């Protein structure tokens, strides 16, 4: 709708058809939210109206909140027409808080969205500034600190504290129209003022009066930062969701498992139709008394098999108390990946080994906790102890095509972390070890292969030009490796085999002679075959 014509969204209710939103032209004509459509048409005969679509508006606002994640990872919708964002630690990316707000409203304006942004120490104060500040600026900020926040809110109406209309009207009757008057008022006198206004002297009336006073003080304390206001961040959008309800609540655990199995089958078919496999599923059980029970499971490998879903959920269902019965069950796939077609058997039946391992990992992770089960993912480094990194179970698997190619030499199954120093006898300058001693045991080498030369990562040295300064060492397993200075030396790796058939992977650190500064070369055992 063009902005040069008055336009309003309307919705019907018990009090007739009312305006829920207006454009700039309608606002300039004096139309306001909450006005009846009849009064609005009487004042502005050219008004164009359209029924509001609350559900679609809510979906659009949630999509906008997801997009606003560039200004802060923690965000969510605020009512029916706002979004809150926690910008802690983000402002420096935009050269300051003021620049962040200007960037935000400018980007929204490019989408055709007229917005006003408020920034303060607390969500309550930011809400008040964005919606009730009298300035015509698109951005409003309150200086940091409780006293500064109170000063910025002092002139705003009490309705800016997110109070109900009834409470705001009552405060105005008591002579408390501005937030600054509430701040200056002794806390104990507020309840007395409410009591004096109330005509009821019953116990129920007194309890209501105290509840109103407590609600006002709570909102005031939250706005000033005196009391915390936890906020639930917007979660990732659901990939797929399936829902089942029953006329009679489910009481028995057997019936619950059976119905959840049917729900898992529905989700499985929906995932397969979309060509997706779930990586995390969440089950919501709505009890008859209004409470909700949750159960979730993570998958190491994308899957769309209902049987596998139930293997992960059955143990969790066994400990869920149905209470007075479960009316509704919802199974969500909150994380999914494309499910590629693959061979299901090896000719004689049975699962592919990779699938069987993934199923085992899922059972272990859901029994022991996802934080206690991890995988090793490839990392772009040719140093063996840095070639992998520990990742959580649900982390996306790195694309093998983006990783370096296979190492030129043979790699052992077991790497020592850190590599252990050994004493070795070898011919100079590049001869393989003839004898070595490891953990006070002497070994004679009968066969050897090498060397495989691995140069130091010079780009890491450039990032830390002070060779004496310690640099973080990470082996991908959460432990330290060699002293950082050791990384600045070339390694020559050898595969050594002893007379009893044992095979060792060892390397010489540094060159013989003066080519590699730092003293005589040292030998280390790095792995066992």
Domain ranges across the chain? 7-52, 240-340, 414-528
Given a contact cutoff of 8 angstroms between Cβ atoms, the answer to whether 231 and 84 are in contact is yes
3-class DSSP assignment, residue 412: coil
Q: Which fold has domain 240-340?
A: Dna Ligase; domain 1 (3.30.1490)
Q: Tell me the CB-side half-sphere exposure of residue 200, using CA atoms within 13 A.
A: 10
Given a contact cutoff of 8 angstroms between Cβ atoms, the answer to whether 230 and 266 are in contact is no
Q: What is the pLDDT of residue 401?
A: 45
With 0-12 CB in 10 A as exposed, 13-18 as middle and 19+ as buried, what is 177?
middle
Query: 7-52 has which CATH code?
Result: 3.40.1170.60
Instruction: With cut-offs at 50, 70 and 90, classify the pLDDT of residue 443.
Output: very high
Instruction: With cut-offs at 50, 70 and 90, classify the pLDDT of residue 407.
Output: low
Q: What is the pLDDT of residue 464?
A: 45
The rounded percent of the chain whose pLDDT value lies above 90 is 18
Q: What is the pLDDT of residue 211?
A: 78
pLDDT at 402 over 50: no
Q: What is the pLDDT of residue 354?
A: 59
Closest of 368, 380, 375 to residue 392, by C-alpha: 375
- Mean pLDDT over the full length of the chain: 80
Q: What is the pLDDT of residue 101?
A: 92
Question: Which of 118-122, 289-293, 303-307, 355-359 is predicted least confidently?
Answer: 355-359
Instruction: With cut-offs at 50, 70 and 90, classify the pLDDT of residue 395.
Output: low
As given in the structure block, the two tokens for residue 347 are: 């000719």
Give the pLDDT mean for 81-98: 89
As given in the structure block, the two tokens for residue 15 are: 């009090």
As given in the structure block, the two tokens for residue 378 are: 């490839």
Q: Which pTM does this prediction carry?
A: 0.48
Maximal CA-CA distance, the chain:
104
As given in the structure block, the two tokens for residue 519 are: 């003293």
**CA–CA separation, 416 vs 504, rounded Å?**
11
Q: What is the pLDDT of residue 518?
A: 54
Q: What is the pLDDT of residue 346?
A: 52
Q: What is the pLDDT of residue 488?
A: 63
pLDDT at 517 over 60: no
């Amino acid at each position: 709708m063009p902005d040069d014509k008055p336009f309003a969204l309307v919705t019907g209710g018990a009090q007739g058809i009312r305006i829920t939103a207006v454009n700039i032209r309608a606002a300039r004509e004096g139309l306001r939210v909450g006005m009846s459509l009849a009064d609005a048409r009487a004042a502005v005969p050219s008004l164009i109206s359209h029924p509001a679509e609350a559900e679609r508006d809510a979906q659009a606002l949630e999509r906008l909140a997801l997009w606003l994640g560039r200004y802060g990872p923690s965000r969510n919708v605020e009512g029916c027409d706002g979004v809150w964002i926690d910008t802690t630690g983000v402002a420096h990316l935009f050269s300051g808080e003021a620049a962040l707000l200007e960037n935000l409203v400018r980007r929204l304006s490019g989408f055709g969205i007229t917005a006003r942004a408020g920034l303060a120490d607390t969500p309550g104060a930011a809400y008040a500034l964005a919606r009730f500040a009298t300035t015509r600026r698109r951005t409003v900020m309150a200086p940091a600190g409780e006293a500064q926040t109170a000063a910025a809110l002092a002139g705003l109406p009490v309705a800016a504290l997110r109070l109900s209309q009834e409470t705001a009207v009552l405060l105005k009757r008591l002579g408390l129209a501005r937030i600054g008057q509430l701040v200056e008022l002794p806390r104990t006198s507020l309840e007395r003022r409410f009591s004096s206004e109330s005509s009821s002297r019953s116990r129920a009336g007194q309890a209501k009066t105290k509840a109103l006073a407590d609600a006002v003080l709570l909102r005031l304390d939250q706005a000033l930062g005196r009391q915390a206001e936890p906020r639930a961040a917007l979660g990732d959008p659901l990939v797929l969701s399936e829902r089942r309800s029953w006329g009679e609540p489910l009481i028995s655990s057997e019936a619950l498992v059976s119905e959840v199995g049917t729900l898992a089958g529905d989700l499985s078919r929906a995932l397969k139709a979309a060509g997706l496999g779930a990586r995390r599923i969440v089950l919501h059980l709505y009890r008859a008394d209004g409470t909700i029970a949750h159960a979730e499971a993570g998958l190491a490998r994308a899957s769309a098999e209902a049987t596998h879903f139930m293997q992960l959920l059955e143990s969790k269902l066994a400990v869920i108390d149905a209470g007075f019965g479960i009316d509704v069950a919802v199974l969500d796939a909150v994380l999914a990946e494309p499910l590629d077609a693959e061979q299901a058997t090896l000719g004689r039946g049975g699962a592919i080994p990779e699938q069987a391992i993934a199923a085992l990992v899922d059972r272990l992770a859901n029994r022991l906790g996802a934080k206690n089960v991890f995988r090793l993912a490839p990392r772009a480094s040719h140093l063996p102890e840095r070639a992998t990194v520990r990742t959580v179970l649900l982390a996306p698997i790195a694309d093998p095509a983006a990783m370096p190619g296979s190492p030129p030499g043979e790699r052992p199954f077991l790497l020592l972390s850190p590599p252990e120093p050994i004493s070795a006898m070898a011919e100079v300058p590049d001869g393989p070890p003839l004898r070595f001693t490891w953990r006070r045991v002497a070994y004679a080498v009968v066969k050897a292969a090498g060397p495989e030369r691995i140069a130091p990562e010079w780009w890491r040295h450039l990032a830390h030009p002070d060779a004496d300064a310690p640099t973080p060492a990470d082996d991908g397993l959460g432990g330290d490796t060699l002293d950082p200075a050791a990384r600045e030396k070339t390694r020559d790796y050898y595969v050594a085999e002893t007379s009893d058939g044992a095979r060792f992977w060892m390397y010489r650190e540094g060159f013989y002679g003066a080519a590699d500064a730092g003293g005589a070369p040292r030998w280390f055992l790095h792995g066992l075959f």
